[in-house]
Amino acid sequence: MAKMTLEELRNLRDSKKKEMTQRDGDKSAQIVIGMGTCGIAAGAKDAFDAFLEELGNHDIKDTRITQTGCMGLCFSEPTVEVAVPDMPRVIYGNVDANVARRIVREHIIEKKLVSDHIFDKPAADIISE
Amino acid sequence: MAFKNYILVCAGTACESSKGIALYEALEKELKAQGVDAEAQLVKTGCFGFCEQGPIVKILPDESFYVKVSPEDASKIVSEHIIKGRQVKELLYDQDQSSGTSADSIDFYQKQQRIVLRNCGVINPEYIDEYIAREGYAALEKVIFDMTSDEVIKELTDAGLRGRGGAGFPTGVKWGFTKNAQSDQKFIVCNADEGDPGAYMDRSTCEGDPHSVLEAMTIAGHTVGADQGFIYIRAEYPLAIERLENAIAQAREYGLLGDNILGSDFSFDIELRLGAGAFVCGEETALLASIEGKRGMPIPRPPFPAVKGLWGKPTVINNVETWANIPMIILKGSAWYSSIGTETSKGTKVFALTGKINNSGLIEVPMGTTLREIIYDIGGGIRSGKKFKAAQTGGPSGGVITEEYLDTPIDYESLQSIGSMMGSGGMIVMDEDDCIVDVTKFYLEFTVDESCGKCAPCRIGGRTNYNILDKISRGQGKVEDLDTLKDLAQAMRKASLCGLGQTAPNPIMSTINFFEDEYMEHINEGKCRAGKCKDLMSYTIIEDKCIGCTACARVCPVNCISGEVKAPHVIDQDQCIKCGQCFTKCKFDAILKG
């Protein structure tokens, strides 16, 4: 995109906001992996690869995997947030390759939460307030 | 088919000890007995913090938060909540405050409030669009098109924002100095030279939300009349550097950096400068010298950088965390911001909570939160059920907070009054196994290592103090040494050129103040109660308990344990390096540590 004017920036913000709210309501699941230095050091890249592989194994194409910064739950890195339509958004901690595969099989496919790995979101979001 | 409800039972270690597992089993039984096990999934979770309130049950999707739940409550939770959809009021975290609307109760039990970290763990830091969608660059719009410079400065001053690098100088006042200084050129600098041992707040912010820093610096540029900014970041932070560079490139492409930002006549650009990892370069005058290509050494202040900074030009220099606050203050207003925190310290503070704590992590709490809330409600308490000894804040410039001050609301002034300091946000929790002399020696070793050597008080005073601490830790200290330590500390505080030397004695003063008895034990009795000072401890084999299994002898790295098979072994004290491996290995408690 070329340099923006004030008008264009505002339009972009509006359209991206819509896109993000639609994303929450649409049919596809979303996996967000915390990939700060801490997450990567704890093995977030292995989890990332395992997610891709397991989704591929089950031929699931409508699940998006994205990365984000550190959620702050250092004691339970790597951390992953999973949003599946009609299910509560949850944060999983200590997600190694095996847990990543379990998340795909149990959470994404069977629509069940994965025991022993759920952690609490640390704070309410001040932006969406 | 998804379940209608999810019952999360906290099965962290602390809750487990307070019967989390029994509760899980009771709920499992009740779900079956009442015939609704197909409607609700029972899930064990990791630790939610809040262990003193355990066991905790959280029900999704409505986010009901039940505390101190006993197995006897299981039947009611299932029959009321799961079947009838009614909250069990007497089990809610705060029965008065949460009037059934779940949103209130969420805010209420959560001690954290994320302003600086608002986007960390939420957006993809490599896409500027996601930042923009969350009100990104809206503050910049407001500053360029709707506010005067004086209004921006007034807003920051009214908000009560103070420098998060540690010193706590009012940010609005600082900007005012630079704005009012007359000069053909001014600069904006971001101090991302985070160096306190155990601190990583700034790294995480740069990695998780780089645009918040860029936007704030651009706002400062517009406000004080600068057209160039520098981010001074240490080279050891490769991912943060990569994400900042990527963010700068995207902002330039969108016209949010560069010439004529958003079509206005304001131009501003930002470049990175990489530091080589010298701790003293976090001191602002040394940092500026380093950007100029000189050796990173401090110069006396005043003049302050706000008036005479980079290349002698007026320069606003703020820390990463300070910057990340600014867009939110501009957008939500000073009244909102100043409603958070204490009388003298507004807003939130990010801490890197580490050490002997169950839930280590990066936390952001309103100023005025107590250490007890941080350690027990957020941090989940001390690891392995050990006893809390002290928390160290402010890194090598700070001091310790002991048990009696656990309920002090944390802000700049309160920490200073108990001999510690806010610092940049490192918070290291110590338990009974940590030796206070050893910890203090560690910090002194750090500051001696990092002293630039320019001024004598820091260079010589620091070294002398370190040598005395080393002597004490070897059991060779004298009672007079404590007075010498204090005298030198006073001299360093008064006469050192910069903050590094002025604050380097703080760990000594603080720990002597609170733990003089431990120093005296080292000096008078040659005893280290934590068993950390190697010269003051030994491992011996108790003859009666040793069955001669040879496990200790085999694990000893220096082969100093001898003895026949099935006969008691002996440790050669002259050879022993006190690694403790035999102690860990022995299955018969036959080795005595002390």
Q: What is the pLDDT of residues B336-357, one digit of tens each?
A: 999 999 999 999 999 999 999 9
8 Å CB contact of A3 and B255? yes
Choose the mutation target among B8, B43, B45 for the interface with A, i.e. most A CBs under 10 Å: B45
Which pair of structure tokens corresponds to residue B531? Answer: 């068993």
- From A2, A81, A123, residue closest to B112, measured CB to CB: A123
Choose the mutation target among B4, B43, B62 for the interface with A, i.e. most A CBs under 10 Å: B43
List, in order, residues 6 or more apart from B212 with CB less than 8 Å away: B116, B118, B119, B131, B136, B205, B323, B324, B327
Residue B281 pLDDT > 50:
yes
Instruction: Count CB neighbours of B554 within 10 A.
Output: 11
Residue B44 pLDDT > 50:
yes
Say whether residue A70 is in contact with chain B using an 8 A CB cutoff: yes
Q: How far apart are CA B154 and CA B173, in angstroms?
A: 9
pLDDT of res. B99 = 44
Q: In the CATH hierarchy, which fold is given to the domain comprising B436-525?
A: de novo design (two linked rop proteins) (1.20.1440)
Q: Provide the CATH number for the domain formed by B5-105 in this structure.
A: 3.40.30.10
Say whether residue A102 is in contact with chain B using an 8 A CB cutoff: no
- From A37, A67, A115, residue closest to B203, measured CB to CB: A37
Res. B102 pLDDT band, cuts 50 70 90: very low
Q: How far apart are CA A51 and CA A46, in angstroms?
A: 9
Of B305, B303, B313, residue with least CA distance to B283: B305
Say whether residue B146 is in contact with chain A using an 8 A CB cutoff: no
Find tokens 């002390």 and name the residue: B594
List, in order, residues 6 or more apart from B515 with CB less than 8 Å away: B390, B400, B436
- From B48, B207, B364, residue closest to A120, measured CB to CB: B48
pLDDT of res. B197 = 87
**For residue B111, what is the nearest residue in chain A, using CA coordinates?**
A123
For B405-430, what is the mean pLDDT? 92
DSSP state of B353: E
Amino acid at site A54:
E
pLDDT of res. B16 = 61
**For residue B116, what is the nearest residue in chain A, using CA coordinates?**
A126
Of B167, B166, B163, residue with least CA distance to B175: B163
Q: How far apart are CA B66 and CA B576, in angstroms?
A: 53
Mark residue B87 as left, alpha or beta (left: phi above 0; alpha: psi -120 to 50; beta: remaining): beta
Instruction: Count CB neighbours of A108 within 10 A.
Output: 21
Say whether residue A34 is in contact with chain B using an 8 A CB cutoff: yes
Find tokens 């910057």 and name the residue: B323
Element (H, E) at B252: helix B238-253
Smallest CA–CA distance, residue A56 to chain B, in Å, is: 22
Contacts of A116 in chain B (CB under 8 A): 11, 44-46
8 Å CB contact of A111 and B3? yes
Contacts of A20 in chain B (CB under 8 A): 130, 133
Q: How far apart are CA B136 and CA B415, in angstroms?
A: 34
Domain with residues A27-122, CATH architecture: 3-Layer(aba) Sandwich (3.40)
List, in order, residues 6 or more apart from A18 with CB less than 8 Å away: none
Amino acid at site A25:
G
8 Å CB contact of A123 and B124? no
Which pair of structure tokens corresponds to residue B116? Answer: 């600086």
Residue B95 pLDDT > 60:
no
Per-residue pLDDT of B307-340, as tens digits, reads 999 999 999 999 999 999 999 999 999 999 999 9
Spell out the per-residue pLDDT of chain A, length 129, in tens: 578 999 999 999 999 988 877 665 566 889 999 999 999 999 999 999 999 999 999 999 889 999 999 888 988 999 999 999 888 889 999 999 999 999 999 999 999 999 889 888 778 788 875
Q: How far apart are CA B489 and CA B506, in angstroms?
A: 8
DSSP string, A29-61: -EEEEE-SHHHHHTTHHHHHHHHHHHHHHTT--
Say whether residue B333 is in contact with chain A using an 8 A CB cutoff: no
List, in order, residues 6 or more apart from B544 with CB less than 8 Å away: B568
pLDDT of res. A24 = 57
Amino acid at site B374:
I
**For residue B61, what is the nearest residue in chain A, using CA coordinates?**
A88
**Distance separating the N- and C-terminal Cα atoms of chain B:** 61
pLDDT of res. A127 = 81
- From A68, A112, A125, residue closest to B41, measured CB to CB: A112
Quote the pTM value: 0.90
8 Å CB contact of B237 and A94? no
Q: How far apart are CA B4 and CA B78, in angstroms?
A: 13
Domain with residues B538-593, CATH architecture: 2-Layer Sandwich (3.30)
Residue B245 pLDDT > 80:
yes
pLDDT of res. B67 = 86
Of B166, B162, B239, residue with least CA distance to B196: B166
Tell me the residue ranges of DSSP E strands in B142-253.
Answer: 187-192, 228-234
8 Å CB contact of B239 and A40? yes
Average pLDDT, chain B: 92
Say whether residue B459 is in contact with chain A using an 8 A CB cutoff: no
pLDDT of res. B21 = 83
A 80-99 residues inside an 8 A Cβ radius of B: 81, 84, 86-88, 90, 93-94
pLDDT of res. A126 = 81
Do B463 and B448 contact (CB within 8 A), yes or no? yes
Q: Would you say the ipTM is above 0.95?
A: no
Q: Among residues of chain B, what percentage have pLDDT more than 90?
A: 77
pLDDT of res. B100 = 43
Say whether residue A123 is in contact with chain B using an 8 A CB cutoff: yes
Residue B502 pLDDT > 90:
yes
Do B408 and B369 contact (CB within 8 A), yes or no? no
Contacts of A94 in chain B (CB under 8 A): 46
Q: CA torsion B349→B354→B359→B364, rounded to 10°?
A: 10
Choose the mutation target among B9, B194, B262 for the interface with A, i.e. most A CBs under 10 Å: B262
Choose the mutation target among B62, B98, B204 for the interface with A, i.e. most A CBs under 10 Å: B204
H-state helical runs in B147-198: 149-159, 171-180
8 Å CB contact of B124 and A71? no
β B348-355/B426-431 pair status: parallel
8 Å CB contact of B360 and A4? no
Say whether residue B255 is in contact with chain A using an 8 A CB cutoff: yes
- From A69, A112, A118, residue closest to B121, measured CB to CB: A69
Do B325 and B164 contact (CB within 8 A), yes or no? yes
Half-sphere exposure of B333 (CA within 13 A, CB side): 3
SS3 of B273, please? strand
Res. B531 pLDDT band, cuts 50 70 90: confident
The CA distances from residue B75 to B32, B61, B83, in Å, are: 11, 20, 11
Per-residue pLDDT of B6-39, as tens digits, reads 999 887 666 666 678 888 999 999 999 999 988 9
For B449-477, what is the mean pLDDT? 96
Per-residue pLDDT of B149-198, as tens digits, reads 999 999 999 999 999 988 899 999 999 999 999 999 999 999 999 988 88
pLDDT of res. B1 = 57
Res. B98 pLDDT band, cuts 50 70 90: very low
pLDDT of res. B554 = 94
Say whether residue B187 is in contact with chain A using an 8 A CB cutoff: no
Domain B348-431 bears CATH identifier 3.30.300.10: no
SS3 of B571, please? strand
For residue B38, with 0-12 CB atoms within 10 Å meaning exposed, 13-18 middle and 19 or more buried, which class applies?
A: exposed
Homologous superfamily (CATH) for B128-337: NADH-ubiquinone oxidoreductase 51kDa subunit (3.40.50.11540)
Half-sphere exposure of B555 (CA within 13 A, CB side): 14
Strand partners, B274: B233
Of B335, B319, B285, residue with least CA distance to B168: B319
Smallest CA–CA distance, residue B379 to chain A, in Å, is: 10
Half-sphere exposure of B112 (CA within 13 A, CB side): 30
Say whether residue A52 is in contact with chain B using an 8 A CB cutoff: no
Q: How far apart are CA A70 and CA A36, in angstroms?
A: 5
Interhelix angle B210-224/B238-253, rounded to 10 degrees, is 60
- Compute φ and ψ for A13, nearest 5 degrees: -60, -45
Of A112, A108, A114, residue with least CA distance to A96: A114
8 Å CB contact of A123 and B46? no
Domain edges within chain B: 5-105, 128-337, 348-431, 436-525, 538-593
Which pair of structure tokens corresponds to residue A68? Answer: 């984000």
Q: CA torsion B496→B497→B498→B499, rounded to 10°?
A: 20
Amino acid at site B317:
I
Instruction: Count CB neighbours of B474 within 10 A.
Output: 14
Report the residue count for chain A.
129
- From A66, A113, A127, residue closest to B118, measured CB to CB: A127
DSSP state of B574: T
8 Å CB contact of B3 and A3? no
For B229-249, what is the mean pLDDT? 96
CB pairs under 8 A between A and B: 178
Smallest CA–CA distance, residue B146 to chain A, in Å, is: 12
